[in-house]
Amino acid sequence: MSARKSNSRLEDLQRTVKRVWENVPFYRARMEDWNVTPDDIKSLDDLKKLPFMTKSDLRDNYPMGLLACPKDEVVRVHASSGTTGKPTVVAYTAGDIDSWTECMANCLKTAGVNEKDVFQVILGYGLFTGALGFHYGAERLGAMVIPTGGGFTGRQLMLMEDLGTTVFTSTPSYALYLAEEIRKRNIRHKLKLRLAILGGEAWTEEMRKEIEEALDVVAVDSYGLSEVVGPGVAMECPQRKGLHGNWDHFIFEVVDPATGLPVPEGQEGELVITSLKKEAMPVIRYRTRDLTRLIRGTCSCGRQDVRIDRVKGRCDDMLIIRGVNVFPSQVEAALAQVPELSLHYFLEVTERKGLKELCVVCELKDSLSGKELEAVEGKTSRVLHEVLGIRVGLRLVQPGTVERSSGKAARIVRVN
């Protein structure tokens, strides 16, 4: 990174720290607890002196206790779904909307989108940040946007065909469902798809390969989160060797989830993000709970920026089964080794006498019974044991059994 760029980032960081110190009582109190003031931030390395922020802090200051500008400067709010309580509300000034649009345009350009594309947004519009982020970014690049929103698969495919969609964005699990429906309807030859931009949930290289082969597209990973800005934080280029972050807008750290201390270079840990240009609700050292690592070195595309590896999963999603750490992504990688299985699955977790037990529920690609089904069950159980290191329960179900979703797939189901 050039000295000039580094100085600019430092100035943005100092401005942001001063902004929250002067305008957000929560931040000021937390910084005083850590015995740090804005005057202590003299270099980018001094970021480590500042306290962390978590999603609980956003919930505890609901709805807009973390606002760092006058309320009449807020032009829009977004929010998380609030499935675990009240939603986390995020506010935007007009300047924030413009910065977000710039971030999204940068990311879409990195992915390979241009003004000639027809861009279909298959994400829910509304309080969720995803759809409008992609929408505004694609428009800024000059692409034609089709704001179909989530669900209504038949209509999605009709518009894809009739309007000549070349690029779409959705969750990986919904892209897999679209591929399934396109194959059933035998319409792939009628479509102009070339690129799928997928995000919102962790997914594996195995799922990427299945989507790319089924749809004959390049599938790239997108990363973002509402608490920071929405989508537009980072994006893979077509080389798919890590995500290129918007370094002018964010500082990325990777820390040990247990201690909060920086991990050695290249080691996996929890991603922490600081926003540099947000006005309404900046975040400083926000703990994302996402597990990844930073990748140094020149990308195959020629860019020399530090990249973010694809997210392996979330600290919250890690299951401890008989003392062994298990992530949904590990299960998905195992299931992908069995050709008879689809990647429509979920993990059923039960707890008896304080011990968790896991049953993997996965859908077959084709209906099977008798000895054929027994053979697939045996093979799947062996692969799961090899990958996870423990034996887990398994239930294979017939095609079309696992519920499809246009949003994030519910991978973990807890049963009382």
pLDDT in tens, 45-102: 999 999 999 988 998 999 999 999 999 999 999 987 654 467 789 999 999 999 999 9
Tell me, what's the pLDDT at 83? 44
Tell me, what's the pLDDT at 326? 85
Lookup: tokens for 129: 């940040």
Tell me, what's the pLDDT at 188? 96
Q: CA neighbours within 13 Å on the CB side: how many for 3? A: 0
Give CA angle at 245 (273, 68), nearest 5°. Answer: 40
Cβ-Cβ contacts under 8 Å for 294 (sequence gap 6 or more) = 252, 254, 265, 266, 306, 307, 308, 309
Tell me, what's the pLDDT at 85? 60
318-415 fold: GMP Synthetase; Chain A, domain 3 (3.30.300)
Tell me, what's the pLDDT at 84? 47
Tell me, what's the pLDDT at 1? 60
Q: Domain-by-domain residue ranges, the chain?
A: 93-314, 318-415
Tell me, what's the pLDDT at 389? 86
Q: Please give the Cα distance from 316 to 321 (Å, whole number).
A: 14
Q: Which CATH class is domain 93-314?
A: alpha beta
Q: What residue ranges of the chain have pLDDT lower than 70?
A: 1-4, 81-85, 353-354
Alpha-carbon separation of residue 206 from 335, 337, 339 (angstroms): 9, 8, 11
Q: Is 221 exposed, middle or buried (0-12, 13-18, 19+ CB in 10 A)?
A: buried
